A and B are shown apart, each in its own frame.
Chain A
Amino acid sequence: MQKTVVLGVIGADCHAVGNKILERALSEAGFNVVNIGVMCSQEEFINATIETNADAILVSSLYGHGEIDCRGLREKCDEAGLKNILLYIGGNLVVGKQDWSDVEKRFKGMGFNRVYPPGTSPEIGIRDLKRDLGIED
């Protein structure tokens, strides 16, 4: 059974290139990708996930405001009945030079299952996704 993922760039962020690359990489890896594009609100991620019955939400944030944009996303998912849905995030999540382990800890504290630093190759995320969703390679 093909797994469905919702992919998008959160907040007022309109960086579209990485979003297209991820869509391509995920599709080639066999996922059904529902790409909601750039400048998406938390509600748009959640609505798309409900309607398509997706298995994971993959959030990108490139402009440094990811922390503000993502606050409360896990709680809203719970509220919308998306219990234990996989939440991934990656990109330039914060501004300035901050210690990565600290950043990762903060986003995990917000309910993200996996958090990726800038420059992570799509393969790594895909490998983790397959593992988390129990897909055999």
Chain B
Amino acid sequence: MDAALLIDFGSTYTKLTAVDLENEEILATAKDLTTVQTDIMIGFENAFEKLKEKINLNKVNFVEKLACSSAAGGLKMVAIGLVPELTAEAAKRAALGAGARILDVYSFELTNFEIEEIIDKKPDIILLAGGTDGGNKDCIIHNAKLIAKYIKNVPIVVAGNKNAQDEISDIFNKYNIYYKITENVMPKLNQINVEPARKVIREIFMEKIVEAKGMKRAEKFINGILMPTPAAVLKAAKILADGTDKEEGIGELIVVDIGGATTDVHSIASGEPSKAGVTLKGLPEPYAKRTVEGDLGMRVSAVSLLETAGIKRISKFIPNSKYDIEERCKFLQSNISFVPKNEEDLEFDESLGMVATEIVMERHVGTIECLYTPLGTIYSQVGKDLLNVKYLIGTGGVIVHSKNPKKILSTGKFNPAFPNYLKPVNPEILVDREYILSAMGLLAEKYPDKALRIIKKYIVRV
């Protein structure tokens, strides 16, 4: 039987998914702790041993072995632009869509102090933007010069003013900087163009970052580490929404991925105003939009989740817990591989999941503001209107293990008490029960139709 082995080298766990390519079925999944500090293949082998117990390897022929990774801190990036609300914001969105963790965003001309700060943050890639095509080039050239002079060994993606490209090439060549030039993230004012930059970031990820993170050894056993894990989830979400050449998609959707360290949201939706008489403000948002919240997570970020939400907001979801909320969050943060053992553990995790979902959706969706003007009342919308999105899909440990994932995800729905957040009003709630979304994003690279049919089969209504 021809099968595919899909591997996710996660920050905590290395997860394996074996897929029967002929019958389009999941054969088995298995996981073990990621071992990037010593040798990433140890964790892989451990997980593979567990997988072997579930399937008969004599009958299975792995014709594809594809991997994604968020191990060793994931893909860490710094984005640089000119005006904070314009090219700097566009650069940030391009990096997020490529699956990166944004360490910081800088705007205007960099200072020596900021250069030192960037060096201290140790980014894997720097995305350098600034100026529309034909617009300002002084700023991006100034920044390129400073980077060339002081920052060594960090690959640079240049996605700024087209008219500054030649000069920037000269500067980087002179200083032997590894760089790639691509299309501007904002070729015209208020027009974003994030895909070319995303593509180049991924190329550099495969060429350079995998090796730098000590994962080159893994590449000998598998066909390649193709992308950061969040990029694989975004890819799966996009294919599920839009379909392929042969297979229909299910339409606009949102994926909430609640992890141990971060909580991600991917929305595949145009986000146009759904009501008449609303003016759009600010930079248009990408159709496939990813946001990531580093302060919201179930384990590594449990304490920062508490700090963000506050005790009241958590206890609203778990009024009669025997646990002291503060103590419990501290415990979870220092025991990152803790798995709930009883009802109470599970309930507490669920309440954290509910708070995380509520906050993460508030940050992802657009907001509407009522302005009282001499011309009467005007509604202005910033960000995406997701009121009418049909599907809200949950993934991540707490969702997968919960008996009541609907309860957790429902906090991501529109709340009449806070009508300015344009969250989906009545979405159908779906769950990634087998935890396959990132694996299917990988499979979709080579077998988009198969991947889509498997996702449709395994994402369940609750």
Contact = CB atoms under 8 A, between A and B. Distances in A.
A85 to B, nearest CB: 13
A121 interface: no
B378 interface: yes
28 contacts: A4-B134, A11-B373, A12-B371, A12-B373, A14-B375, A34-B132, A34-B188, A34-B189, A38-B279, A39-B281, A39-B378, A39-B380, A47-B85, A48-B86, A50-B83, A51-B82, A51-B87, A51-B132, A51-B186, A52-B131, A52-B134, A52-B135, A52-B136, A52-B189, A53-B131, A53-B137, A54-B135, A63-B374
Nearest to A13: B375
Contacts of A72: none
B interface, by DSSP: helix, strand, loop or mixed? Answer: loop
Nearest to B135: A52
B374 A51 contact: no
Contacts of A50: 82-83, 136
Interface of B: 82-83, 85-87, 131-132, 134-137, 186, 188-190, 279, 281, 371, 373-375, 378, 380
A interface, by DSSP: helix, strand, loop or mixed? Answer: mixed
A11 B186 CA distance: 25
Contacts of B188: 34
Given A14-B279, A39-B378, A47-B85, A53 B371 contact: no
A11 to B, nearest CB: 8
Given A39-B380, A52-B189, A64 B137 contact: no
Given A51-B136, A53-B136, A65 B85 contact: no
B167 to A, nearest CB: 15
Contacts of B87: 51
A50 B107 CA distance: 12
Question: Quick one: which of A11, A51, A53 has the most chain B CB within 10 A?
Answer: A51
Contacts of B374: 12, 63-65
B191 to A, nearest CB: 11
A53 B375 CA distance: 33
Nearest to B136: A53
Interface string A28-42: 000010101011000
Contacts of A11: 373
A6 to B, nearest CB: 8
B86 A51 contact: yes
Contacts of A12: 371, 373-375, 378
A43 B281 CA distance: 13
B34 to A, nearest CB: 42
Given A14-B375, A36-B190, A51 B131 contact: yes
A81 B241 CA distance: 45
Nearest to A48: B189
7 pairs of A and B residues whose beta carbons are closest in the complex: A12-B373, A52-B135, A53-B136, A53-B135, A47-B83, A52-B132, A51-B86
Interface string A1-38: 01010000001111000000000000000001010101
Question: Quick one: which of B131, B189, B380 has the most chain A CB within 10 A?
Answer: B189
Interface of A: 2, 4, 11-14, 32, 34, 36, 38-39, 43, 47-48, 50-54, 63-65
Contacts of A64: 374
A57 to B, nearest CB: 13
Nearest to B133: A52
Nearest to B86: A51
A64 B374 CA distance: 9
Contacts of A32: 134
Contacts of A39: 279, 281, 378, 380
Contact of A36 (B83, B132, B186, B189): B189
A2 B163 CA distance: 14
Given A4-B135, A12-B374, A39-B281, 17 more contacts: A4-B134, A12-B371, A12-B373, A12-B378, A14-B378, A34-B132, A34-B189, A47-B85, A50-B83, A51-B82, A52-B134, A52-B189, A53-B134, A53-B137, A63-B375, A64-B374, A65-B374
A41 B76 CA distance: 35
Contacts of A13: 375
A53 B262 CA distance: 38
A68 to B, nearest CB: 10
Nearest to A39: B279
B380 A47 contact: no
Contacts of B378: 12, 14, 39
A38 B131 CA distance: 22
Contacts of A38: 279
A66 to B, nearest CB: 11
Nearest to A38: B279
Nearest to A15: B375
A43 B374 CA distance: 20
A4 B85 CA distance: 20
Contacts of B134: 2, 4, 32, 52-53
Contacts of A43: 85
